Structure 1
Amino acid sequence: MLYRVCVIFVAFTAMLLNCYTLTSYANDGKRSVGVKIQLTINDVTAAVNGQKTTLSTPPVLLNNTTMVPLRFIADALKADLTWNTEDQSITLKYAGHSIQLSIDNRIVRIDNQSKALEQPAVIMNNTTLVPLRFIAENLNQTVTFNDETKSIIITTPHPRAAEIRVDNLMTASNMGFTNNFFLERPNVNVISMASDQHNLIYILERNAASEMSFILRVYNEVTGEMKVMYSGFDQSFNFDYRDPKFGEQHINASILSPRKLVYDSKLDMLYLMATSSFSSDTSVSTVIYEIASNVRMMTYTIGKTTYHPGNFMVTPDGQHFYFSDILHDHIYAGESGQQANVFMSFTPDKENVKLAAIMNDGKMFVLDVSKQSIFELEESGNLRFVAPIDIKEEILRVYEDNETFYVEGQRQIWEVKTTGETQPYFGLKDIAAYNTGLYLPKTNTYDASAFANMGFSFGGMLSFNVFAINQHGNVVMYDGSYHLLRRINVYNQ
């Protein structure tokens, strides 16, 4: 069932009162890039970029707000921190932003604008605790919270690149594609991509001659290596289930067709949606698999096939799953290992129907492309209108990642928040240069000889294709026109 995560906010730490009127904690002016801070509610063990440390006071929940130690967060971010003993006020400066707040005072100033806190800063065990999500997000940090483990991850975005350049990561032949390199048409093979938080890019390739034949490849951005995870539905994808009419049944996954990859960054888990190639009222039609060290069936439906290229799949906790059936105007809900049933009915517009879904603060948000609107899927089974979006171009694809929709048109990708806030992410016209040669991540160099015998030159991207947003915010895409796996470096990586 859907749940709400009752957290809000970032962090600061210990400020022991002393005899000085003003104590200043300054750094050497450096700014952290790619910082990853890990904390857990009521646990003094924390980590910064994998290096463990012990806190004097753990993060706590106070009035449904996550409160964290200020000094620890400030030090981790290398922020400038000032404490005024006289009025118990705090000033934090980081990356051009300024936050001013006082102990037990709900009014806070963000870049000279006043805002109100639900829970003010407090002192506990001689340590200053501040509301996590409010401060973190006002410093452009990303906060994720796992309600089951009570763990918190704060990550620092990489700075946006001064100019957007494109790297050639791998050729189709080196990727192992079986089709003739010079006859392959754009997107004939790659049907879905996903990226995780371990610098891995997952590429789902389907054989053009058979919907049921596929290869799931994984590209490592650190080593430049490409490996095959799965080559078709082997016996690990088979499972037993109970049919309401015929009792215990067994499905051979070879009748399924792969459709979509979904990576959940909060759960650090990759999922695969597949549908049956056979249409029957009594057969398994849609299956959601967890793809980890071992394949595990998460939920399934029985009935006629529900495949539509605009269907979504999302999970709030790795135990409950929601996915759409556009052809029959349904949204399904199912628990791990159990049959999914109709959760609600909806009526999308029939032209350019595409749905996408993400979790944000324990709520599920659905982007309806045909209606150019964002809805919240409520526990009652209603779709509550949240906000419109305004994209004046045909939407080809939507990639869901990190509480954000990335909406792809012919020549532009937009970043869409659950509030409806929409802004250009980047467009083909924004690309400043294409780096020559094949990028070698181990040496951070380019091998021009990799293309020496191809017989033709590689040019600029003609259009967008299937893509994923990697953990650094960069776009990794299979360019079918030139048969290349490419990375568009929107951010410094």
Structure 2
Amino acid sequence: MLIRKWLPAAMFLMCFAFILALSAHAEENDLFDTRETVFKMNDPNALINGKKVVLQVPPTTINNYTFVPLRSVSDAIGANLTRKSDEIRLSYEGVTVEITVGRAEAFVQSNPVRLEQPPVVIKGTTMVPLRFIVNSLGLDLRYEPSTKEIRISSKIKKTPEPIDEDQPGNKKDVEEEAPVVRPRMENLTVDYLSANHSNLKSLDKIRLYSFGNTSIAAAKDNQVYILNRDPNKGYQIKKYDPNSADKMSVVASIDERFNFEYSVRDKYKINFSYGEFVPKKLVYNDASDTLYLLGESAAMYPDKLRLAVFSITPEVKMVTYQLENSGFYKLEDSFFSTLDDKTFYYGEPYSKMIYSANRGQALELVNSSPTSDKTQLISTMKDGVLYVYDKKSSTIFKWTGTGLVKHAQIAIHSDSVMHVAASFGYFYLLDDRRVVHRVTSDGKMESYAELGKASFNPGILGVPETSNWKLFGNERLLLDRYTLHMSTDSNGNLFLFDDGILIRVNVYPS
């Protein structure tokens, strides 16, 4: 009796759900046109949007990768394809793909992508890797192993019919607030912020030097810190602030404030003297607005320090150190970070070890690192989480509290990356085409600034006497792979220390 009582209700619910599914499907069909291409491996007969087509060259396998005819795919989905010699440009639904026959590097939305197999021409037909073209254009792919059928489908949004807003119910009663999108400058401009010669007395305070160890760390509101070696005064940390009267000020010199006492394996103590300190690298913690300076010891005695780290702002103070140990290392390629300015993390790419320490204590080994051998590591923080970029493998790792785990893969070939910077939750990669790419902590990459197209503002910013100067005649950015330093401030503008000159690339309006 109970079953008979509930059976009609169950039948009604099933019918209602079925009607809803049909309604949703019908609504989707009203919004989109579906296009489908059906290929078979090694079969010239294809089905394109319901029509039978004979291909000049059928889908084939090259080095275990499936290749399909590009023209057939582009025509089937309604993409725009242009070709100049071996260079091919494909545009579809706002996505632009650029490929070159025989070249293993392609560009999707101007971002470089490494191909396992390059496009080839077979009997006059351009063949491309199936997975690459499908993933790049956001197409759907299905493969039937039993029939060897390859089904490529796409949904094109239909153009909506115009709405007569005067008709009742058509006009929105409440206007939706559009999201605020911060506009970038249509054309990049470059400002010179310093000088390396003394033609004018007014340039004395903003003069920088190109010898010795140099490092820069951009901070907030177009401010940037510079580690620079003055030939008369030694190493100094300077701060450029466009809102200050002097523009450039000395934040710290290497003096007695860098002296401290450290313990050697809890057996005895040694005094570290500022005279043996060789500064190497600035690190800015944007979460706490704190600047750190990393350096080495030039001393030759046993049990000397390999690494010493000091806070520079708000005060000069030793925060951690590491005793000398065996094995090659390069401080500039290591990462240093902190989430709370109390516990510090340091990663060496050559030993592939991660170290940690509380403030004022020696660094101790925490875990091995899954990063590449002899790579460059750089870190940034996003929403209180530490992320580390491995330059050699183009991989982003995430700190879990006890170790690094792989988090995201970046679609760029490491050999094309000339320089890497990180700040305010993003990684910035400068490639050999002079394009800076911005990468999120999740590995999403966008073309950020084409430095080769930047125009130069004359003179030095904030120095009226130089307003008509052309500093180099034919203005251009040197961007030397081995001497360039790059950083980004909170406004999103790029700072470069390029051939001894501090430069700001204006990505966003002031």
Q: Which bin holds the TM-score, normalised by the shorter protein? A: 0.5 to 0.7
**For 1:179-328, what aligned pairs fall within 5 Å after superposition?**
188-189=211-212, 191-206=214-229, 213-223=234-244, 225-231=247-253, 233-278=254-299, 282-304=303-325, 306-328=329-351
Stretches of structure 1 lacking an aligned partner (at least 5 in a row): 1-89, 98-138, 141-157
1:336 corresponds to 2:359: yes
Deviation of 1:159 after TM superposition, in Å, equals 2.8
Task: Tell me, in whole angstroms, the C-alpha distance in 2 between the residues paired with 1:280 and 1:327.
Answer: 24
Larger radius of gyration: 2
- Name 1:466's counterpart in structure 2: 485
Partner-residue secondary structure (3-state), 1:170: coil
Task: Tell me, in whole angstroms, the C-alpha distance in 2 between the residues paired with 1:216 and 1:362.
Answer: 27
Deviation of 1:367 after TM superposition, in Å, equals 0.8
Pick from 368, 371, 392: which aligns with 2:390?
A: 368
1:487 corresponds to 2:509: no
Amino acid at match of 1:469: T
Partner-residue secondary structure (3-state), 2:331: coil
When residues 327 and 277 of structure 1 are mapped into structure 2, their CA distance, relative to the original with a 3 A threshold, is: farther
Task: Tell me, in whole angstroms, the C-alpha distance in 2 between the residues paired with 1:208 and 1:418.
Answer: 40
- Name 1:83's counterpart in structure 2: none
When residues 439 and 458 of structure 1 are mapped into structure 2, their CA distance, relative to the original with a 3 A threshold, is: farther
Task: Tell me, in whole angstroms, the C-alpha distance in 1 between the residues paired with 2:505 and 2:275.
Answer: 36
Task: Tell me, in whole angstroms, the C-alpha distance in 2 between the residues paired with 1:279 and 1:389.
Answer: 42
Task: Tell me, in whole angstroms, the C-alpha distance in 2 between the residues paired with 1:376 and 1:279.
Answer: 37
Q: How many correspondences in the alignment?
A: 326
Would the aligned equivalents of 1:190 and 1:466 in 2 still touch at CA under 8 Å? no
Deviation of 1:208 after TM superposition, in Å, equals 8.9
Deviation of 1:291 after TM superposition, in Å, equals 0.7
Task: Tell me, in whole angstroms, the C-alpha distance in 2 between the residues paired with 1:479 and 1:225.
Answer: 19
Task: Tell me, in whole angstroms, the C-alpha distance in 1 between the residues paired with 2:331 and 2:313.
Answer: 25
Would the aligned equivalents of 1:196 and 1:268 in 2 still touch at CA under 8 Å? yes
Amino acid at match of 1:365: Y
**For 1:48-447, what aligned pairs fall within 5 Å after superposition?**
93-94=176-177, 96-97=178-179, 158-173=182-197, 174=203, 188-189=211-212, 191-206=214-229, 213-223=234-244, 225-231=247-253, 233-278=254-299, 282-304=303-325, 306-346=329-369, 348-350=371-373, 353-381=375-403, 383-392=404-413, 393-410=415-432, 411-431=434-454, 433-440=455-462, 447=466
Deviation of 1:198 after TM superposition, in Å, equals 4.8
Deviation sequence 1:86-125 (CA, Å, 0-9, x none): xxxx97855x43xxxxxxxxxxxxxxxxxxxxxxxxxxxx
Deviation of 1:449 after TM superposition, in Å, equals 4.7
Task: Tell me, in whole angstroms, the C-alpha distance in 2 between the residues paired with 1:446 and 1:423.
Answer: 39
Would the aligned equivalents of 1:255 and 1:278 in 2 still touch at CA under 8 Å? yes
Task: Tell me, in whole angstroms, the C-alpha distance in 2 between the residues paired with 1:253 and 1:345.
Answer: 32
Partner-residue secondary structure (3-state), 2:220: coil
Stretches of structure 2 lacking an aligned partner (at least 5 in a row): 1-172, 198-202
When residues 361 and 92 of structure 1 are mapped into structure 2, their CA distance, relative to the original with a 3 A threshold, is: farther
Deviation sequence 1:30-58 (CA, Å, 0-9, x none): xxxxxxxxxxxxxxxxxxxxxxxxxxxxx
Amino acid at match of 2:294: M
Deviation of 1:190 after TM superposition, in Å, equals 6.0
When residues 396 and 310 of structure 1 are mapped into structure 2, their CA distance, relative to the original with a 3 A threshold, is: farther
Would the aligned equivalents of 1:299 and 1:338 in 2 still touch at CA under 8 Å? yes
Would the aligned equivalents of 1:269 and 1:291 in 2 still touch at CA under 8 Å? yes
Deviation of 1:446 after TM superposition, in Å, equals 8.1
Amino acid at match of 2:347: S
When residues 247 and 190 of structure 1 are mapped into structure 2, their CA distance, relative to the original with a 3 A threshold, is: closer
Task: Tell me, in whole angstroms, the C-alpha distance in 2 between the residues paired with 1:485 and 1:479.
Answer: 6
Deviation sequence 1:269-296 (CA, Å, 0-9, x none): 1111112234776222211211124201
Task: Tell me, in whole angstroms, the C-alpha distance in 2 between the residues paired with 1:446 and 1:93.
Answer: 50
Deviation of 1:394 after TM superposition, in Å, equals 3.2
**Identity of paired residues, percent?**
24
Would the aligned equivalents of 1:476 and 1:488 in 2 still touch at CA under 8 Å? yes
Deviation sequence 1:376-404 (CA, Å, 0-9, x none): 121233x2111111223433332221111
Pick from 465, 473, 489: which aligns with 1:457?
A: 473
Partner-residue secondary structure (3-state), 1:160: coil
**CA RMSD, Structure 1 to Structure 2 (Å):** 3.1
Higher RCO (CA-CA < 8 Å; seq separation 6+): 1
Deviation of 1:178 after TM superposition, in Å, equals 8.3
Would the aligned equivalents of 1:279 and 1:303 in 2 still touch at CA under 8 Å? no
Task: Tell me, in whole angstroms, the C-alpha distance in 1 between the residues paired with 2:204 and 2:395.
Answer: 38
Deviation sequence 1:317-361 (CA, Å, 0-9, x none): 00010011233221110111111101111254335x100112222
Deviation of 1:406 after TM superposition, in Å, equals 1.3
Amino acid at match of 1:244: R
TM-score (norm 2): 0.58
